Amino acid sequence: LMIGMEFVDPEGETRTARRVAEAAGTPLPAAPELAAAVQRECLRRGLIVGLGGRHSSVVRLLPPLTITDEQAVAVQERLADAVRAAARCDVGGAAAPFTP
């Protein structure tokens, strides 16, 4: 079992251009710095995640197949906290402009 979250640069394109890109199937620019920041924040919370994808912009979770509901909730809470913390940080020279 593997779960991945891809991080993209929301400032990479204007809102109108983003809609056009989504309609055309063009992906937004990868945000490997943001993914790395999420990974660091996860480690600070005792959650080990990996990075992958073409630009290392995918945060990978590899839980065991025997994970309990309580463990899954704990992972979700730690991951959500890590994403919020990374979003507040200055990533790649500009403040991360999104809220999870």
For residues 93 and 10, the answer to whether their CB atoms sit within 8 Å is no
List the domains of the chain with CATH numbers. 3-95 (3.90.1150.10)
Percent of the chain whose pLDDT exceeds 90: 61
Q: Identify the bridge partners of residue 61 per DSSP, sorted by sequence position.
A: 3
Nearest to residue 98, comparing CAs of 55, 34, 40? 34
Nearest to residue 6, comparing CAs of 41, 33, 40, 30? 30
Question: Residue 97's pLDDT is what?
Answer: 47
Encode pLDDT of 55-64 as tens digits: 999 999 999 9
